Each structure stands twice: as structure tokens, then as C-alpha cells.
Amino acid sequence: MTDHPIGRILTEAASGRFPAADGSVEIVRPWRAGVEGVLSMTGRAYVATTRSRESVLAHKLDGYGRAVDPLFVSWLAGPGGWADCLDAVLMALGTGVGAVGAAVLGISV
């Protein structure tokens, strides 16, 4: 997961290390071919796309919510494209003990 910029960002966030909430938008390559989208965190956004940086930034995006504006997401999807709902990604580091170890330790999984 850490070989892609978004994978690194999510791994860092799961460890409690978040990007600066400076309102910036970073353009990165798509996670996989044919799947483009936006990761928005507090004060920072990442747009995973094959579109040019200039065409993306022409939408006057920011990391405070404009990167997930429905008009931008529709443009990103393109004609005949598909846009889903705004969703949340919740992450945490595992305990490393697995389900059996968790049961022994009394940890709910």
C-alpha cells in the first residue's frame, strides 16, 4: 500500500501522523487504471487522476472542501463516468495478535 502516495498518506494517518492542514491540493496518479478520485483530509486534499495538473487546478480547488464539490467530482468522472457518494475511511494499526490472540487478551475485534 505504501508504494502509492495515497497509500503512504493513509499509512501515516493510521499512525497518527497527518499532513499539514494548509488548504493545499496535491495531484497524484490514480491508485489503479480507470479509477480516479479525491482523498480529502482536514485541510488537505489529494486528487488521483490522469488529467493534467493545470486542468484540475483550474477548478480553484482547496483542501477545505472544494476538492469534493459535486461539480468538480462530476467533471473528474467525465461524460458517462460514475461518481459515488462522499464516504469516510477509518483506519487504525492492528494489534498484531489476530482474532485468537485478541480473544485471549479480551480485546473485541
Domain residue ranges in the chain: 5-105
Determine the pLDDT at residue 43. Answer: 95
pTM for the complete prediction?
A: 0.81
Tens-place pLDDT, residues 81-97: 888 888 888 887 777 76
Q: Which residue has the cell 487546478?
A: 57
Residue type, 22: D
For 15, residues 6+ apart whose C-beta sits below 8 A from its C-beta are 93
% of the chain with per-residue pLDDT over 70: 84
pLDDT digits (tens, 9 = 90+) for 26-44: 999 998 888 899 999 999 9
- What's the distance, CA 61 to chain centroid? 15
